[in-house]
């Protein structure tokens, strides 16, 4: 009798998930597991989000200034994972080695796409998907209902027929990722520089830059990776960085190649092709590639100004997930960065699903706002700029977040392998992915329940 009463209290909602990348896939799984009706809208032809490599970028705005970009993925052909595969899997679906595929611990991007496809097939998620469907508008059905039982209007376009469909959902989960909308610096002369300028969002292969003089702006992962890719092809590479205080790995890399040069920030660009740096030095360049990161962007979302993106801070969001005035009917999965992503996305998805079913409740609006303000204040005191609001780099935070739904804490081996990869990359930029000095920690990982829990019956499906 008690079980029946509990079942009656569980509410089933009609939920739209925007995006079928890693965060959207796990959100769909957890929502359905909790008894909700789910539709996943994905503008591409398949699942994967960023991990669905798109080699054809000719039609894209080189600097990514369009409101709706034609190309979502920012993957380049040579990209390999920055983290080892062991730490990347969802809690109940390890990212194992499979014969006949990329068996490296730091595999290429296609291997992660295949993992996501395996995840999708294993849990039967495709039946919830609508591919080649671009969400163009998400807004409140009745904005007078803010703070109560909101419903959402979703307008989507079938990208083949161009037909626009308008539907009403009880809830919307935004899972569109954060590596698509280029973030550009403001440099004097950008608008008059006549030669090729592009954001790394549309960089794919080094060949088009053969024998060119290339200026790369920024030494993020992509800046370093693209420099490595170009070094045997380009005539000269000039890496412009904010700080000349470099990691040991980047210093080693730069000193190894005669055609790779380090510079301070760019002062100005000139019509004749000159790139002038703040120290007064200059080069005549053929191409500038801006490896300057990405901005959060939700061009389809109309919250009447309740949720805004201000200097790359999406807010206000309680625990980087819930807008206090609109939650739980509107939520975001995958906003935080510098975390072990997939387990965190999973804990977000579980919490959202349980809030929508009534199994869990959020704190009051005022308590959520106070929590957000306290978090902002703590970041300000720590001297962290607003644009880094969602860069967490904090295992303890991820564990506390998971406590909201009893999600298991990150295993010590997972944390250890994560930190080890970061330290090795700082020491040996070119070779860290292929150094094999983690045998002891790796064995602990492979013998842990994360890897041994997986049912043995489908052994033909997974081969370790």
Mean pLDDT of the chain: 93
Find out whether 119 and 47 touch, Cβ atoms under 8 Å: no
**CA–CA dist 380, 351 (Å, integer):** 28
Residue 345: which of 154, 128, 177, 168 has the closest Cα? 177
Whole-prediction pTM: 0.93
pLDDT of residue 282: 97
Q: Cα-flanking dihedrals φ and ψ of residue 348, to 5°? A: -60, -45
pLDDT digits (tens, 9 = 90+) for 320-336: 999 999 999 999 999 99
- Calculate the CA dihedral of residues 327, 331, 337, 343 and round it to 10 degrees: 100
Residue 339: which of 379, 394, 388 has the closest Cα? 394
The pLDDT confidence band at residue 148, using thresholds 50, 70 and 90, is: low
Q: What angle do CA 110, 113, 114 make, to 5 degrees?
A: 90
Strand spans (E) along 313-457: 313-315, 330-332
pLDDT of residue 145: 65
pLDDT digits (tens, 9 = 90+) for 340-378: 999 999 999 999 999 999 999 999 999 999 999 999 999
* Mean pLDDT along residues 77-100: 95
Flag whether pLDDT at 419 surpasses 80: yes
pLDDT of residue 339: 96
């Amino acid at each position: 009798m008690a079980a029946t009463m509990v079942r009656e209290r569980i509410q089933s909602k009609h939920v739209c998930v925007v995006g079928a990348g890693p965060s959207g896939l796990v959100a769909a799984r957890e929502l359905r597991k909790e008894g909700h009706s789910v539709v996943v809208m994905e503008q591409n032809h398949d699942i994967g989000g960023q991990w669905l490599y798109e080699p054809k970028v000719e039609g894209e705005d080189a600097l990514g200034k369009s409101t709706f970009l034609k190309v979502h993925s920012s993957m380049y052909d040579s990209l390999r994972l920055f983290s080892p595969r062991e730490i990347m899997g969802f809690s109940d679906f390890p990212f194992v080695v499979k014969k006949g595929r990329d068996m490296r611990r730091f595999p290429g991007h296609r291997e992660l796409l295949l993992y996501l496809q395996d995840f999708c097939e294993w849990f039967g998620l495709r039946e919830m998907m609508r591919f080649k469907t671009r969400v163009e508008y998400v807004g409140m059905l009745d904005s007078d209902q803010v703070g109560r039982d909101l419903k959402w209007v979703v307008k989507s376009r079938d990208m083949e027929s161009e037909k626009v469909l308008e539907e009403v959902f009880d809830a919307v989960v935004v899972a569109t990722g954060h590596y698509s909308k280029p973030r550009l610096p403001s440099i004097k002369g950008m608008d008059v520089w006549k030669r090729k300028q592009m954001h790394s969002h549309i960089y794919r292969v080094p060949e088009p830059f053969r024998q060119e003089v290339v200026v790369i702006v920024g030494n993020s992962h992509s800046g370093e990776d693209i420099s490595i890719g170009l070094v045997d092809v380009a005539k000269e590479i000039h890496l412009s960085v904010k700080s000349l205080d470099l990691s040991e790995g980047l210093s080693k890399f730069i000193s190894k190649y005669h055609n790779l040069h380090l510079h301070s920030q760019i002062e100005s660009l000139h019509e004749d092709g000159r790139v002038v740096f703040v120290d007064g030095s200059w080069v005549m360049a053929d191409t500038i590639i801006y490896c300057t990161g990405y901005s959060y962007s939700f061009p389809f979302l109309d919250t009447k100004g309740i949720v805004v993106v201000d200097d790359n801070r999406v807010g206000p969001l309680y625990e980087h997930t819930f807008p206090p005035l609109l939650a739980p009917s509107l939520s975001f999965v995958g906003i935080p960065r510098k975390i072990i992503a997939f387990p965190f996305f999973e804990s977000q998805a579980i919490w959202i699903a349980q809030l929508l079913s009534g199994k869990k409740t959020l704190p009051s609006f005022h308590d959520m706002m106070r929590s957000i303000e306290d978090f902002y204040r703590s970041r300000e005191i720590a001297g962290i700029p607003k644009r880094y609001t969602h860069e967490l780099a904090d295992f303890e935070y991820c564990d506390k977040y998971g406590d909201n739904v009893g999600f298991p804490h990150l295993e010590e081996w997972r944390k250890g392998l994560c930190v080890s990869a970061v330290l090795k990359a700082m020491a040996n930029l070119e070779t860290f992915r292929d150094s094999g000095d983690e045998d002891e920690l790796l064995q602990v990982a492979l013998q842990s329940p994360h890897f041994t829990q997986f049912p043995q019956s489908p052994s033909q499906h997974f081969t370790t």
